[in-house]
Amino acid sequence: MARIVVVTSGKGGVGKTTTSAAFGAGLARAGYRTVVVDFDVGLRNLDLIMGCERRVVYDFVNVINGEANLNQALIRDKRVEGLEILPASQTRDKDALTFEGVESVLNALAETHDYVVCDSPAGIERGAHLAMYFADDALVVTNPEVSSVRDSDRVLGLLSSKTRRAEQGEEPVKEHLVVTRYAASRVGKGEMLSMEDICEILSIDLLGVVPESTAVLNASNAGVPVIMEEKTDAGQAYDDLVARYLGEEREHRFLTEKKGLFGRLFKG
Amino acid sequence: MAVNQASGAAFELKGRMATLTVLRLLTADPGHLFIQLDARLAQAPGFFDGMPLVLAPGQDVSLDAAMLETLVAGLRDRGLLPVAAADVSEDIASAAGLGVLRNLGGPRSDASGQTGRSGSGKPVAEARAPENGAARLVTQPVRSGQQVYARGGDLVVSAPVSAGAELMADGHIHVYGTLRGRALAGVQGDVNARIFCQSLEAELVAVAGHYRLSEQIDAGLRGAPAMIRLRGDELGIDAL
Ligand SMILES: Nc1ncnc2c1ncn2[C@@H]1O[C@H](COP(=O)(O)OP(=O)(O)OP(=O)(O)O)[C@@H](O)[C@H]1O
Ligand SMILES: [Mg+2]
């Protein structure tokens, strides 16, 4: 049986899809059979970020409606062995996802994979609720700003009350904090919340900090999960994150400002 | 003498928050309601004496003036104190001697003493409503959008309380963690209720309806352990 991992945030545009793609690719690279499921029906872009948008024939909603079977809808990644994606529909809305439909698709995926990564839509409505409902683990993606932290806090409340595990009184969903778009220089100037503040407010384990990086946009334009760009800071940060998730201990590398050329010159 | 009386203020108007019990009418038949109410009152003699009530018709119930008058008289006979009605017209309410409350939100508490706001952010599941007088213990963080109410007793939270979360207790509130949300102690009117917290960052604190917003909390008290209590009519905050 697979572990089901939801990537969620409440607030939009904080890096859920970027994280889902990188995390899924990282798990597959580590040898786990992994599928990333796009729950953002109507605004699909996981397939874009993973560079397989031209190969989408059937989608999640087609499978739920019985118009295609899972094998027809799953897209195999061409670069990473063992990585698949289940795209969302671009033409439907989130009401097309039914509780029973989602449950049966996730059950089927769980039988043939080690990890099922659910890329949640923003918000706390139906789509986000369905994406988190069956989760065993949650990556809560947060940017270092007050509104994003507040929304993540709200989502943590839902994870502990509105999920299958909560409702059935099982062991709670394991919550991991992922801070993305972190800019140490702006924290220094007081323009952003510090890691310390974020961890204190949310009081859950920190899984990874991904720096604000141009590599993310470049990678998504190229349709490559940024974790594959091994020379980039964001790529390395996601690599660390996956390793930590799998139980390895790694230091957080991107908490402090990198010394640029000027920094080094003036240090003397 | 007459001059003195004219210059000294004879009254003050103050905004206060209060928790009122809402009697939601699920039937339009007062006789039917009184049979069930008498059974409930018999279980807890004296407990409801003098309890101020807001009468609110349930979804498919519409009230006319005669029915409301019968209800009000019957409730008063039983020692309850209907003070206002919600979701009825002013004529009907005033005929029965009641004020009209507008914008009454959903019920603040159901039978188990727990509520969720607009269907989301359920209160922390592990805590059960206490018996009268028992404290309610919450060990998980109380997150934005969640609400926890300790009916009939104290509330003890051994975890942080986030901005956007709300604690309520008929008795005292203790927070062994940072209090960033709202905390309302003595919500049934207990003026001796107090709030204790390890680090005061609250959006709002209140005791028996007397409240202070964060901006009315002295900056020197923020981020430190504190105790909040009523001194006469003033809500006092002391560093611990
Ligand atoms: N670490 C980063 N550095 C710089 N830009 C980033 C970073 N992470 C994400 N972005 C950018 O932020 C934008 C939103 O990212 P993404 O689509 O992953 O967010 P999302 O949470 O999935 O959004 P939505 O809520 O709309 O689904 C994208 O333009 C992406 O390139
Ligand atoms: Mg997205």
The ipTM (two decimal places) reads 0.79
pLDDT at B64 over 60: yes
Note the ligand closest to the C-alpha atom of A14: 1
CA distance A197 to B239: 23
Q: What is the pLDDT of residues A92-120, one digit of tens each?
A: 777 889 999 999 999 999 999 999 999 99
Q: What is the pLDDT of residues B76-127, one digit of tens each?
A: 888 888 888 888 888 888 888 888 876 565 433 333 333 333 333 334 433 3
* pLDDT at position A71: 95
* pLDDT at position B118: 34
pLDDT at A144 over 50: yes
CA B158 to chain CA centroid, nearest Å: 23
Q: What is the pLDDT of residues B141-181, one digit of tens each?
A: 999 999 999 999 999 999 999 999 999 999 999 999 999 99
* pLDDT at position B17: 63
> What token pair was written down for A103?
């449950």
* pLDDT at position B83: 84
Mean pLDDT of A137-156: 96
- pLDDT category of residue B128 using cuts at 50, 70 and 90: very low
Q: Does A210 sit in the ligand 1 pocket, CB within 6 Å?
A: yes
> What is the pLDDT of chain B when averaged over all its residues?
81
CA distance B95 to B19: 25
For A177, residues 6+ apart whose C-beta sits below 8 A from its C-beta are A140, A142, A152, A198, A199, A202, A204, A205, A206, A207
* pLDDT at position A266: 46
A65 — contact with chain B (CB < 8 Å)? no
Q: Which of B56, B166, B58 is nearest to B101 (CA)?
A: B56
Query: Does residue A193 contact residue A186 with C-beta atoms inside 8 Å?
Result: no
* pLDDT at position B43: 66
- In this structure, the dihedral spanned by the alpha carbons of residues A95, A99, A105 and A108, taken in order and rounded to 10 degrees, is 180
Query: Does residue B138 contact residue B119 with C-beta atoms inside 8 Å?
Result: no
* pLDDT at position B94: 83
* pLDDT at position B45: 64
CB–CB contact B125 A166 (8 Å): yes
Instruction: Give B56 Cα–ligand 2 centroid separation in angstroms.
Output: 43
Q: When comparing pLDDT for A25 and B115, which is higher?
A: A25
Query: Would you say the C-alpha torsion B178, B182, B188, B190 has a positive or negative sign?
Result: positive
* pLDDT at position B107: 38
> What token pair was written down for B57?
């018709």
For B120, which of A124, A151, A160 is closest by C-beta distance? A124
> How many other CB atoms are there within 10 angstroms of residue B123's CB atom?
25
Question: In this complex, how many residue pairs, one in chain A and one in chain B, have their CB atoms less than 8 Å apart?
Answer: 51
Helix (H) or strand (E) holding B175: strand B173-179
pLDDT at B19 over 70: no
Mean pLDDT of A195-219: 95
- pLDDT category of residue A122 using cuts at 50, 70 and 90: very high
Instruction: Give A50 Cα–ligand 2 centroid separation in angstroms.
Output: 12
**Buried (b) or exposed (e) across A182-209, using 16+ Cβ within 10 A?**
bbbebbeeeebbebeebeebbbbebbbb
Q: What is the pTM of this model?
A: 0.73
Query: Does residue A5 contact residue A117 with C-beta atoms inside 8 Å?
Result: yes
